[in-house]
Amino acid sequence: MSLKKLMATSLLLSTLGVSAHAQSLVYCSEGSPEGFDPALYTSGTTFDASSHPIYNRLSEFKVGTTETIPGLAESWEVSEDGMTVTFKLRQSVKFHSNDQFTPTRDFNADDVIFSFDRQGNEENPYYTVSGGTWEYFNSMSMPDLVESIEKVDDYTVVFNLTRPEAPFIANMAMDFASIQSKEYADAMMEAGTPEMMNQAPIGTGPFTFQAYQKDAVIRYLRNDEYWGDPAKVESLIFAITPDASVRYQKVQAGECHVMAYPNPADVQAMQDAEDIVVMQQEGLNVGYLAYNTQVAPFDNANVRKALNMAIDKQAIIDVVFQGSGEIAKNPLPPTMWSYNQDVTDDAYDPEAAMAMLEKEGVTDLSLKIWAMPVQRPYNPNARRMAELMQEDFSEIGVNVEIVSYEWGEYLERSKAEDRDGAVLLGWTGDNGDPDNFLAVLLGCDAVGGSNRAQWCNEEFDALIQEAKVKSSQDERADLYEQAQVIFKDQAPWATIAHSVVFMTMRPEVEGYVVHPLGGHIFNQVGLSQ
């Protein structure tokens, strides 16, 4: 869109006054995007500003669920051996345009191949553009998983895999798999400005990127040529407002319609306020304390269970989460399919815990608890959580020393198989698939890496490996439910909490849905007059 057109739009909006506001949805976001090419980044703030409004993927998560639905691929077919996935692409999908670029063709297979090739092929001219590190592409093991991508015709693409991978379709709905325009990429490379892909994004999504004033405001306009249901508002504005109290003041003053991440301490007042709507849902995350199951006496499941029974989780929810959390009993969050409702949590019972330790012949036990130096939704204050645990454990005669390191050091040191102590950490789901929790955090392959409990249980591992290659979701769910029973019995972690996500908005906001994967999506959101 030309600058003149933009100016005309804004002039029109400003002269329309209040009614113009009704057509612009203002979202008070918590921070600035790092850029607008989602494959380059890993933060939710960046995805909110880039992949959700601007781009589409082959498959999409149905808003409000972790279910995958067709996106830029109308349909897909997985071969019987699970090694080949064929996507049938949607036709007549238009890319956006901007001052530097007007597309001459519709979306096709070349765009799909380019979008992935640039992330994995060192020969691709875009591989190093914008310092490409392609973190998600790598951390989802795409280089090992995808052997090749073939274009059968303009609207058929085949992914050849090195192994069957049930979560593959969900992976294709992740932000890093957003589809870019190859034509735009070529044009920018030719113009000598390839970084524009990241600064002036072109996608196929429901909103077109209009402008970004660093650390202040991001503007989008409705894409009237969108292939799906068009956005309900004419323009979408992200007002970057880092302070949570100020975000709330802006919602109250009508300067924003929706805000994310309210202060937990403010939630009660928001719920009581007449002209404010608060939505809530459990986040797709889990906070845990991982014992080192390779170091005595924590290699004994009964010792671990005894310690779990000594933790007063409700006190943690009240004090650390200030009510914005829910006690976790499984390593999976309750919004995830295959969550095992029947598992019973270890009851808080210090006396029984003490007796259990005595029975195992463990006396004068000392334990280090590692407290993360950063805030995360699954653990808003790890130091305070560690202190509460220190108190709980002292009641059963266990002496606790709290340690902490700088975040990068913490992550690195906590991976060591001979690590001294139990680690407070957590995880937020990427693709809504249980494999993304159970295999990544508790699989035998992840010992010495993201499996901070250093726990390798053959029975558990066999179940999750089997589930990974099955294509029927019901069969997979059954296997994951069994795995959760083994997990609870063996207690490699003390599962602490799932955070509760709150969204605060004005009453005129219609159609907002809290997304379990954590994104803030406004395609379907409207404003009542």
Partner 1 sequence: MLNYILGRLLTFIPTFIGVTLISFSFIRALPGDPIQVMAGERGVSDERYAELAAQYGFDQPIYVQFWQYLTGVLQGDLGTSFVTKRPVWDEFFALFPATLELSLFAMIFSIVLGLPAGVIAAVNRGKFFDRALMSTALVGYSMPIFWWALLLIIVFSGNLQWTPVSGRIDLLYYFPDPTGFMIIDSLASGQKGAFASAVRHLILPTIVLGTIPLAVIARQTRSAMLEVLGEDYIRTARAKGMSSARINGIHALRNALIPVVTVIGLSVGTLLAGAILTETIFSWPGIGKWMVDSIFRRDYPVVQGGLLLIAVMVMIVNLTVDMLYGVINPKIRKR
- Closest distance between partner 1 and the C-beta of residue 515, in Å? 20
With tokens 């490409």, the residue in question is 132
Would you state the structure tokens that stand for residue 476, as one six-digit string? 């997979």
Positions in 388-407 near partner 1 (CB under 8 A): 405-407
Of residues 7 and 265, the one with the C-beta less far from partner 1: 7
Interface residue with partner 1, options 13, 22, 277, 278 (CB under 8 A): 13
**Among residues 74, 401, 409, 475, the one that binds partner 1 under rule CB under 8 A:** 409
Q: What is the smallest separation between the CB atom of 450 and partner 1, expressed in angstroms?
A: 5
Q: Applying CB under 8 A, which part among 14-22, 201-209, 350-358, 381-389 lies near partner 1? A: 14-22
Select the span of 56-64, 95-103, 126-134, 499-507 touching partner 1 (CB under 8 A): 126-134
Task: Map tokens 């979701």 to a residue.
Answer: 473
Amino acid identity of 114?
Answer: F
Q: How far is 499 from 281, CA to CA, in rounded Å?
A: 9
By the 8 A CB rule, do 158 and 85 touch? Answer: yes
Binding mask 17-56 for partner 1 (x = CB under 8 A): ---xx--x-x-------xx----x-x--------------
Pick the closest to residue 455 from 412, 495, 417 (CA basis).
417
The residue from 115, 119, 241, 490 that contacts partner 1 (CB under 8 A) is 241
Distance of CA 350 to the CA centre of its chain: 35
192 lines the binding site for partner 1 (CB under 8 A): no
CB within 8 Å of 65: residues ≥ 6 apart: 432, 516
Structure token digits, residue 388: 């509460």
Token readout for 62 is 């149905």
Under rule CB under 8 A, residue 199 binds partner 1: yes
User: What own/partner pairs with CB < 8 Å and gap ≥ 24 does 247-253 have?
Assistant: 247/28, 247/30, 247/504, 248/504, 250/28, 251/28, 251/276, 251/504, 251/505, 251/506, 252/276
Q: What is the 8-class DSSP label of residue 449?
A: T
Q: Which stretch binds partner 1 (CB under 8 A): 93-101, 130-138, 390-398, 494-502?
A: 130-138
Q: How far apart are CA 252 and CA 278, in angstroms?
A: 13
C-alpha–C-alpha distance, residues 170 and 69, integer Å:
9
Stretch that binds partner 1, among 83-91, 182-190, 327-335, 419-427 (CB under 8 A): 419-427
Mask of contacts with partner 1, 432-451, x by CB under 8 A?
-----------------xx-
Q: Is 2 in the site for partner 1 (CB under 8 A)?
A: no
What is the largest distance, in Å, between two alpha-carbon atoms of the chain?
79
Q: Contact with partner 1 (CB under 8 A): which of 81, 99, 243, 510?
A: 243
Q: Which is nearer to partner 1, 6 or 113 (CB)?
A: 6
Both ends of the chain: CA-CA distance in Å? Answer: 28
Q: Report the residue from 117, 195, 225, 345 that binds partner 1 according to the rule CB under 8 A.
A: 195
| Three-class SS state of 315 | helix
Site string for partner 1, 298-327 (x = CB under 8 A): ------------------------------
Q: Do 424 and 367 contact (CB within 8 A), yes or no?
A: no
Closest alpha carbon to 289 in 425, 434, 115, 144: 425
Least distance CB 38 / partner 1 (angstroms): 13
> Which pair of structure tokens corresponds to residue 182?
């190859």
* Binding window for partner 1 (CB under 8 A); candidates: 5-13, 158-166, 271-279, 460-468: 5-13
Element (H, E) at 413: helix 407-413
Residue 93 to residue 72: CA distance in whole angstroms:
8
Does residue 383 belong to the site contacting partner 1 (CB under 8 A)?
A: no
Q: DSSP alpha helices (H): ranges in 33-103? A: 44-49, 51-54
Q: Minimum Å distance from CB 445 to partner 1?
A: 12
Determine if 250 is a binding residue for partner 1 (CB under 8 A): yes
# of chain residues touching partner 1 (CB under 8 A):
61
**Binding residue (CB under 8 A) for partner 1 from 401, 412, 417, 510:** 412
Shortest distance, position 239 Cβ to partner 1, whole Å: 6
**Residue 87 or 370: which CB sits closer to partner 1?**
370
422 binds partner 1 (CB under 8 A): no
Site membership for partner 1, residue 263 (CB under 8 A): no
Which residue type is seen at 274?
Answer: E
Residues that bind partner 1 (CB under 8 A): 3, 6-7, 9-11, 13-15, 20-21, 24, 26, 34-35, 40, 42, 128, 130-131, 133, 135, 138-139, 195, 198-199, 211, 213-217, 219, 237, 239-243, 245-246, 249-250, 252-253, 255, 405-409, 411-412, 415, 425-428, 449-450
